[in-house]
Amino acid sequence: MDAENKPWKVIYCASRQEKKVSAYFSQRSIEHYLPLVNKLRVWSDRKKWVEMPLFNAYIFVRPTEIQRDLVLQVPGVVKFLRCNGQDALVPEKEVSLIQRLIEKGYQIQQQDMSVQLEPGDLVQVLDGPFKGEEVEVHYSEDEVYVIVSVEGLSSSYKVNLPREVLKLKKKSKDRDKALW
């Protein structure tokens, strides 16, 4: 199997060590890929664009059989991801897709899929002009949005908010009536 079609393995790194581990791999000529994206970080006194890993704590590697043990000796490497008792494999085409998306400048972010938001769920807005507000989630065919009601004006507004600024407060009790 040639290198172009050889699947990638995934290593798990210690917290915030991805760039250091990547530098070690480069020094030791171990083929690897650390997807980095620019994210706007906000502090109380400033904002700054920072290059951050797309997947926290993970790096794709393609070590030779001899290099596999060397990978585990690199400071900051915790372990190989495993599946069914073997190193987990990621097909070349999936890693290639991630590379192309980043190269073309698409704004991509890892999503927390452990909690799915559904119509009728009550969420709290974590950032932006509606920070601290509790709002209900709604869906249409092609978008997720929240309805913000201004009771004093007897009106409501449809607002598209990024999933990252929404925190689930209460799941909808009436799932059968929720429409997609």
In the prediction, which pLDDT does 40 show? 80
Which among 109, 88, 120 has a CA at the least distance from the CA of 162?
A: 109
Query: Mean pLDDT over all residues of the chain?
Result: 80
Q: Which of 44, 71, 103 marks a domain boundary?
A: 103
In the prediction, which pLDDT does 141 show? 58
Domain count, the chain: 2
Residue 14, domain member (yes or no): yes
State the residue range of the domain holding 99.
8-103
47 and 130 together in one domain:
no
77 and 23 together in one domain:
yes
99 and 30 together in one domain:
yes
Q: Which of 43, 68, 103 marks a domain boundary?
A: 103
| Residues of the chain falling short of pLDDT 50 | 113, 151-155, 175-180
* pTM, full prediction: 0.62
Q: How many CB atoms lie within 10 A of CB 20?
A: 14
In the prediction, which pLDDT does 87 show? 93
Read off the tokens for 84.
């069914």
74 and 17 together in one domain:
yes
In the prediction, which pLDDT does 44 show? 86
In the prediction, which pLDDT does 11 show? 96
